[in-house]
Amino acid sequence: MDESQLIEKAKHGDLTAYSQLIRDYSPIVERFAYQMGNNIDDIQDISQEVFIRVYRFLDGFTHAKFSTWLYKITLNVSKDFKRKDRQYTKRIQKVMNEPREEPSHDHKHFIREEEDRVLHECIQMLDEKYRVPIILYYFHEKKYEEMAAILAINLSTLKTRLLRGKSLLKKMLEEAERGEGKENG
């Protein structure tokens, strides 16, 4: 059964079709949410919230491409989670009156090699307006038009952000490489 048939069946209450959509798209949602810089412990919650929203708003889905709509939802849910996390962190810090230490996590499931870790860290340091286009283009292989639709910006703005983001990322990677050279050299 193709994507459009699954969507139509899911719109009409077919839970098997909806479950298939979840199975098909969960890996993409989880990877994108992680690449957006979300805490690894929140990825499953974000994915669940994305698919809850898909279920709630599937009747209103009229976009030409389901994945574009799904990326928009994932982007919004990721922003919501980050906002809530910042608010929670501020409250905790206020109560504890001490800076928060970042917990260490086992990222081996998502990033397997040192170069990938450095790249991921550099991408996370980019401003969101540069980070999201780079992630969508290079890691999710989205075309310019679809990326512009996901981000709700015009094509020229997208191209400018992608070009600027690549330039900033290149500088960050070069600095990271020089830094590692000094540590190891």
pLDDT digits (tens, 9 = 90+) for 162-179: 999 999 999 999 998 887
So what's the pLDDT on residue 176? 86
Second-level CATH architecture of 1-110: Orthogonal Bundle (1.10)
Radius of gyration of the chain (CA): 19
pTM score of the predicted model: 0.72
Which is nearest to 71 in space by CA: 123, 32, 110, 120?
Answer: 32
**Phi, psi (degrees; rounded to nearest 5) at 38:** -75, 155
Does residue 99 carry a pLDDT above 50? no
Domain boundaries, the chain: 1-110, 112-185
CATH fold of the domain at 112-185? Arc Repressor Mutant, subunit A (1.10.10)
Enumerate helices (H) and strands (E) in the chain, giving the number of each: 8, 0
Which is nearest to 176 in space by CA: 122, 134, 129?
Answer: 122
**pLDDT band per the 50, 70, 90 thresholds, residue 93:** low
Rounded Cα–Cα distance for residues 150 and 57 (Å): 16
Q: Would the CATH topology of 1-110 be identical to that of 112-185? A: no
**pLDDT band per the 50, 70, 90 thresholds, residue 107:** low
pLDDT digits (tens, 9 = 90+) for 122-159: 999 999 999 999 999 999 999 999 999 999 999 999 99
